[in-house]
Structure 1
Amino acid sequence: MRLDHRRGSNLVFDPRITSSVALSVGRTQHYNIDEPDTDMEWSKLIHSGGHFVHLKNGTGEVRKHAVTMLHQFKCLDVIRQQYSGRSDAPISPLTLQCINYLRQSILCNLDIGLESATNTWGTVAKSAEYVCMDWSELYKAVEYNQQVFREAHTPL
């Protein structure tokens, strides 16, 4: 079996997110904890090729990297599955790692917006509109990288 490493020479990950999208934040009937379509909805948030991209380092060696947004979605899904009670097992080390990772992500991506609350628990009183970077452009960049990687690592 021979691989043509030149086919992977275009192995890049450089999402150029230039457009914005509106996001309505509020209650939704999607992304529940344990409904019939829940697993499918959560799996669609994580790219079909997984949450990793592959890049060459300075010596030409290909290294795997997690895409932050997809890694965050993966962690939310890990926590959701643990919370759903599908397992009687104690909280897994992966779940604890994900909780810590999301805590750090929230701190690092500080959002100082204000949300109205209806009670002392902080339940959001109404939905709100946010302007966000267009995440579909990130998905396209991930897909391109994964496609180039697959083609470069397919035997000739």
Structure 2
Amino acid sequence: MFNDDEENLSSSRLRLAMAFLAASTVFTAILAFATLNQPCVSEAIHPKAKLLEEISQVQNYSYLGYDYPQNWNVRGLSNSTVYVYVGNSEHYTLDTDLGISEWDRLVPPDGGILHLGPDQRPFSISMFHQLRCLNIIRAGLMDSRGVVDAQLLRHCMNYLRQMMLCRADGQLQSVRRSTGGGATTWNQPRVCRDWRTVYEAADANSRDYEQDIQDRVL
């Protein structure tokens, strides 16, 4: 028999598990298989949004203040596509050593930090931010000791929600029934951006940065 605290913990973890699985399913389709790069409309327009948009029309950037491009220009990404069937995977389990290692490896060892511009200013990209957040939610789901910061979990849930709404993926998915598990047929083929191109570019950027640091020391 469970006491009240154990029942509350079990119920809380079940709700978090359901939220994580829903977010993970939708996010996977968005991340790996998105075909569009349309401008996003946020829930509340940020005051500097117009400034960033105007700056992005400029070809030469100082990478000081807001003077940097809105998107990282990955060479070849726009023409690099893969044809994939979306589906459940045997990989990326939530609590096994192998699964945890696979989640960890989705983000490069240096955290996916890019160094851009003449002064090697550090940046991240939304893809790596979202992957970090999914892993944080996974860790929170498996955390029975309260180690994962609840505020960080809240940030990640909201960030993923906003990115999904921002991209508004409109691929049609057949519906078997209105509610319940398996209601939607989502394992359909997608023409996707080749995310490997992003990893390769991030790795090249990291190596260039390390070489630049070594050259400065010498």
TM-score for both structures, normalised by structure 1: 0.79
Which whole-Å deviations, capped at 9, do the CAs of 1:1-30 have from their partners, x for residues lacking one? xxxxxxxxxxxx631212211222122211
26-35 vs 70-79, greater mean Cα deviation: 26-35
Partner of 2:36: none
User: Which residue of structure 1 lines up, in the alignment, with residue 47 of structure 2?
Assistant: none
More helix by share: 2
Equivalent residue number for residue 124 of structure 2: 66
Q: 2:174 matched to 1:116? A: yes
| Structure with the higher fraction of residues in strand conformation | 1
The one-letter amino acid paired with 1:52 is: I
Match of 1:48 among 98, 109, 119: 109
Structure (1 or 2) with the larger CA radius of gyration: 2
Instruction: Give unmatched runs, 5+ long, in structure 1.
Output: 1-12
- Relative to structure 1, the CA distance from residue 122 to residue 65 in structure 2 (aligned partners, 3 Å threshold; closer, same or farther) is farther
Q: Which moved more, 1:118-127 or 1:25-34?
A: 118-127
SS in structure 2 of the partner of residue 61 of structure 1: coil
SS at match of 1:30: coil
Higher relative contact order (CA 8 A, sep 6+): 1
Long gaps (5+) in structure 2: 1-71
Query: Given the alignment, which residue of 25, 29, 52 partners 2:86?
Result: 25
Q: Given residue 146 of structure 1, which amino acid in structure 2 is its aligned partner?
A: S
CA-CA distance at 1:86 after TM superposition: 4.5
Which of 191, 194, 198 is matched with 1:131 structurally?
191
What is the number of residues matched between the two proteins?
141
Letter in 2 for 1:66: S
TM-score (structure 2 length as normaliser): 0.58
Q: Does the CA-based 8 Å contact 1:14-1:141 persist in structure 2?
A: no
Q: Which runs of 4+ in 1 moved over 3 A?
A: none
Over 3 Å counting, the alpha-carbon distance change for 1:90 and 1:136 in structure 2 is closer
What displacement does 1:89 show?
A: 4.5
Q: Say whether residues 1:151 and 2:211 are aligned partners.
A: yes
Give the whole-Å Cα distance in 2 for the aligned partners of 1:109 and 1:47.
24
Q: Report the alpha carbon displacement of residue 55 of structure 1 after superposing the two structures with TM.
A: 1.0
Cα distance in 1 for residues equivalent to 2:97 and 2:175 = 30
Does the 8 Å contact 2:82/2:192 carry over to 1? yes
